[in-house]
């Protein structure tokens, strides 16, 4: 079975598809819609169905999903390290390849800087962890903002009260001397902080 090498330059609305033969001839290099049907259709239209496909696509947002769809339909697809590929493009030893053509050629000669294509369940877990980290960062920022407001107003809780305990929050609510606007903003931040802590739980 004849083997071809495919470089996929991924964009949100389109994919540049470059098909290269084993002897480095470019059989196809054109843009198509960002769907697995369009990508496979472009290759099959040029090369027929009786080919073995080894494809490469830069690791970026959305690329892993397209890779999974192509792999499930018989293609061999590798994710490329975007940083290394970018440095290769800037090398004075490289001719003026398009991105898709470079990916196809790197896959052809076995020099593609590969990264792990995580399974869908791992990517889903990463998505959830990233969201939780976003909430944690927002919680930290709110605490810093409330602390800055207190320092600006030169308000300090008694030494026996640890920050962010129930006793500290009670002091903030009842005893901290804040201007009306500072009190309003701090109250809203505290409500947001309570909501964040509940969501994190």
- Please tell me the pTM assigned to this model: 0.74
**Long-range contacts of the stretch 166-173 (C-beta < 8 A, 24+):** 172/146
What stretch(es) of the chain map to CATH 3.30.420.40?
2-117
Nearest-angstrom CA–CA distance, 101 and 165? 60
pLDDT score of 31? 93
pLDDT score of 34? 95
pLDDT score of 97? 64
pLDDT score of 170? 94
pLDDT score of 89? 73
pLDDT score of 94? 53
Nearest-angstrom CA–CA distance, 67 and 72? 9
In degrees and rounded to multiples of 5, residue 73 shows phi and psi of -110, 20
pLDDT score of 123? 92
List, run by run, the mean pLDDT of 10-residue segments along the chain (201 residues): 92 93 93 95 91 94 93 94 82 66 94 91 94 97 96 93 94 93 96 95 92
pLDDT score of 67? 95
* CATH code of the domain occupying 2-117: 3.30.420.40
Question: What per-residue string of b and e applies to 110-148 under the rule 16 or more CB within 10 Å gives b?
Answer: eebbebebeeeeeeeeeeeeeeeeeeeeebeebeeebee
């Amino acid at each position: 079975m004849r083997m071809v090498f495919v470089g996929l330059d991924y964009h949100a609305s389109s994919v540049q598809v470059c098909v290269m033969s084993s002897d480095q001839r470019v059989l196809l290099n054109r843009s198509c819609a960002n769907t697995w049907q369009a990508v496979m259709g472009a290759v099959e239209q040029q090369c027929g169905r009786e080919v073995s496909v080894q494809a490469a696509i830069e690791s970026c947002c959305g690329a892993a999903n397209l890779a999974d769809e192509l792999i499930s339909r018989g293609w061999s697809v590798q994710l490329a390290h975007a940083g290394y590929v970018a440095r290769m493009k800037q090398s004075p030893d490289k001719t003026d390849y398009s991105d898709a053509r470079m990916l196809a050629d790197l896959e052809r000669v076995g020099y593609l800087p590969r990264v792990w294509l995580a399974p869908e369940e791992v990517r889903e877990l990463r998505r959830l962890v990233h969201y939780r980290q976003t909430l944690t960062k927002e919680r930290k920022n709110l605490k810093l903002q409330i602390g800055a407001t207190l320092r600006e107003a030169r308000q300090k809780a008694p030494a026996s009260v640890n920050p962010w305990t129930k006793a500290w929050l009670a002091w903030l609510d009842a005893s901290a001397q804040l201007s009306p606007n500072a009190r309003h903003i701090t109250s809203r931040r505290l409500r947001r902080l309570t909501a964040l802590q509940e969501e994190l739980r």
